[in-house]
């Protein structure tokens, strides 16, 4: 496998630090709520997990499990972008550039979350859509855990980019199917709110990530 992270003579393996941090986050998820962590790994039982863990709580970042999940999602996405830039687009990436990507995703995630909550509150839809947000967040966490495992094995087992891309496509397809089920469930339960759903998807959910793509990926081509 190609050297997908640029390594200087001073710092020969800074990517190991990132993997170690991700490993700590995964261990932290297991430690904070062991049963919940084990349940979230059962993708085929996602509906049971969601009904179990939304029965007595709202979607909030005051929950330590959700905080760790968000951090894991951010670091895993940063690793994925780094891998694509170096392996697929054949770019040379410095360590500090990875941290810029990490900060960029963190900033976008926070802004998007705050904006979504504010807009939904103004539309009096916050309580109605809480369960759907929690479902999406749950699937993002599942995706991030398996993505971390894939990139970890790919890096240290020296898997070829083709193998990693193959597994990555399967992961993305599964994630997309689960997200589509959320949208269909919302439309079925709230047919009159389809306009707000389109607005939410186009202006709030997708726009920030498209901006991130053009800022990071396109600028390196």
Give DSSP secondary structure letters for 69-106. Answer: HHHHHHHHHHHHHHHIIIIIS-----HHHHHHHHHHHH
Confidence tier at 91 by pLDDT (50, 70, 90): low
Q: Confidence class of residue 45 from pLDDT cuts 50, 70 and 90? A: low
Token pair belonging to 150: 């894939």
| pLDDT digits 0-9 by tens, 103-145 | 988 888 888 788 777 877 777 776 777 777 788 888 889 999 9
CA-CA distance, 214 to 32, in Å (whole number)? Answer: 37
Distance between CA atoms of residues 27 and 10, nearest Å: 29
What average pLDDT does range 194-206 have in this prediction?
A: 63
User: What's the whole-number mean pLDDT along residues 201-221?
Assistant: 58
Say which DSSP state 162 is in.
Answer: H
* Segment 170-196 mean pLDDT: 78
pTM: 0.80
- Whether residue 73 contacts residue 144, with contact meaning beta carbons closer than 8 Å, is answered with yes
Helices marked H in the chain — which ranges?
A: 15-32, 34-40, 46-53, 64-83, 95-122, 126-156, 161-189, 194-199, 207-220
Phi-psi region of 124 (alpha: psi -120 to 50; beta: other; left: phi over 0): left
The answer to whether residues 46 and 139 touch, using CB atoms and an 8 Å cutoff, is yes
Report, as an integer, the average pLDDT of 179-196.
74
Q: 181 falls in which pLDDT band (50, 70, 90)?
A: confident
């Amino acid at each position: 496998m190609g050297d997908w992270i640029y390594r200087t003579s001073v710092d020969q393996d800074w990517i190991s630090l990132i993997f170690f941090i991700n490993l700590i986050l995964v261990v932290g998820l297991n430690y904070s709520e062991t049963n919940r962590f084990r349940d979230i790994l059962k993708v085929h039982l996602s509906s049971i997990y969601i009904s179990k863990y939304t029965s007595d709580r709202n979607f909030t970042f005051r929950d330590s499990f959700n905080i760790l999940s968000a951090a894991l999602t951010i670091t895993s996405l940063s690793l994925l972008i780094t891998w694509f830039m170096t392996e697929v687009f054949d770019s040379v990436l410095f360590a500090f550039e990875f941290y810029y990507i990490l900060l960029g995703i963190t900033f976008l995630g926070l802004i998007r979350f705050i904006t979504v909550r504010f807009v939904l509150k103004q539309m009096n839809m916050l309580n109605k859509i809480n369960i759907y947000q929690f479902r999406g967040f749950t699937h993002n966490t599942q995706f991030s855990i398996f993505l971390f495992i894939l990139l970890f094995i790919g890096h240290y087992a020296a898997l070829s980019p083709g193998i990693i891309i193959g597994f990555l496509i399967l992961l993305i397809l599964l994630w997309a199917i689960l997200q589509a089920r959320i949208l269909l469930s919302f439309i079925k339960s709230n047919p009159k709110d389809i306009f707000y759903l389109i607005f939410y998807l186009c202006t709030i959910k997708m726009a920030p990530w498209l901006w991130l793509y053009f800022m990071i990926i396109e600028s390196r081509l």
